[in-house]
């Protein structure tokens, strides 16, 4: 399981991911520190705002939204592309 930082640009509205951590405790602690304005010793810790390069060439300001919990997909559960192609051929015959 991972926790990815999410930012949203004020200018263009794009939401995007920043860094991530594998620990709920670290994510929670980092979120509290950001909200309280407590400087973190961790250089990877998110800031409340950051500069964003918008797709239309604009330069916006993005706000830290929080950490999104993301389940890691197990490689053993993934089917190879060859296997998927075989399944599709059988379905559409």
Does the pTM exceed 0.75? Answer: no
The pLDDT mean for the chain works out to 86
State pLDDT tens for residues 29-68. 999 999 999 988 888 889 999 999 999 999 999 999 999 9
Chain length of the chain: 93
Q: Quote the tokens at residue 64.
A: 């830290």
- The structural domains of the chain, with segments of one domain joined by +, span 2-91
Q: Which residues contact 79 (CB under 8 A, 6 or more apart)?
A: 87
* Residue 40 confidence (pLDDT): 80
- pLDDT score for 90: 64
């Amino acid at each position: 399981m991972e926790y990815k930082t999410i930012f949203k640009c004020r200018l263009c509205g794009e939401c995007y991911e920043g860094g991530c951590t594998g620990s709920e405790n670290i994510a929670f602690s980092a979120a509290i520190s950001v909200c309280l304005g407590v400087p973190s010793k961790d250089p990877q810790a998110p800031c409340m705002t950051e500069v964003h390069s918008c797709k239309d060439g604009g330069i916006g300001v993005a706000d830290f939204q929080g950490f999104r919990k993301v389940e890691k997909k197990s490689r053993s559960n993934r089917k190879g592309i060859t296997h998927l192609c075989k399944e599709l051929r059988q379905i559409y015959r």
